[in-house]
């Protein structure tokens, strides 16, 4: 089973290596891995990133049937705080913090069945008409 899981991870886009290890002998059914990616090969579609991140967050129990709009807004606020902190001490901000905000927004849209691309396009038309 573990070798099958490692094979699945190795077959993901951009994965260079998978190094399995165990943290707790009390939980032999858990597999922990260090996964190394080749950033040049990480070119997933926006939908793939959205789906995979949502599934990973759901698997960790952070998104579930009872996750509310407020829960998502609270998480967006937390991520915005991290972006703000990254800006305070640097001349450049940490782009990963910006990505965190976008990913939470995309997860929220997926959770509530919102076509975020359509909503962005509609908002763009409104913004273009502003003076």
Which of the following CATH numbers is that of domain 44-131: 2.60.40, 1.10.287, 1.10.3120, 1.20.1440? 1.10.287
Question: What is the CA angle 71-75-79, rounded to 5?
Answer: 170
The β-bridge partners of 25 are none
Could you read off the pLDDT of 99-124 as tens digits, one per residue?
999 999 999 999 999 999 999 999 99
The β-bridge partners of 21 are 32
Looking up tokens 């399995």 gives 20
pLDDT exceeds 90 at position 2:
no
The β-bridge partners of 17 are 36
Please state the rounded mean pLDDT for residues 27-51: 73
Distance CA 56, CA 81 (A): 22
Please state the rounded mean pLDDT for residues 58-86: 93
pLDDT exceeds 60 at position 80:
yes
The model's pTM is 0.65
Q: Where are the domains of the chain?
A: 1-43, 44-131
Please state the rounded mean pLDDT for residues 30-51: 74
């Amino acid at each position: 089973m573990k070798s099958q899981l490692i094979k699945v991870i190795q077959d993901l886009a951009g994965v260079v290596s998978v190094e399995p290890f165990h943290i707790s002998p009390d939980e032999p059914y858990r597999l922990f891995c260090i996964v190394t990616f080749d950033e040049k090969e990480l070119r997933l579609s926006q939908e793939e990133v959205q789906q995979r991140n949502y599934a990973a967050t759901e698997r960790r129990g952070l998104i579930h049937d009872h996750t509310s709009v407020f829960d998502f807004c609270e998480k967006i606020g937390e991520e915005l705080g991290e972006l703000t902190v990254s800006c305070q001490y640097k001349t450049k901000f940490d782009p990963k913090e910006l990505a965190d905000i976008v990913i939470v927004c995309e997860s929220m849209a997926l959770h509530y069945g919102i076509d975020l691309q359509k909503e962005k396009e509609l908002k763009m038309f409104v913004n273009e008409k502003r003076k």
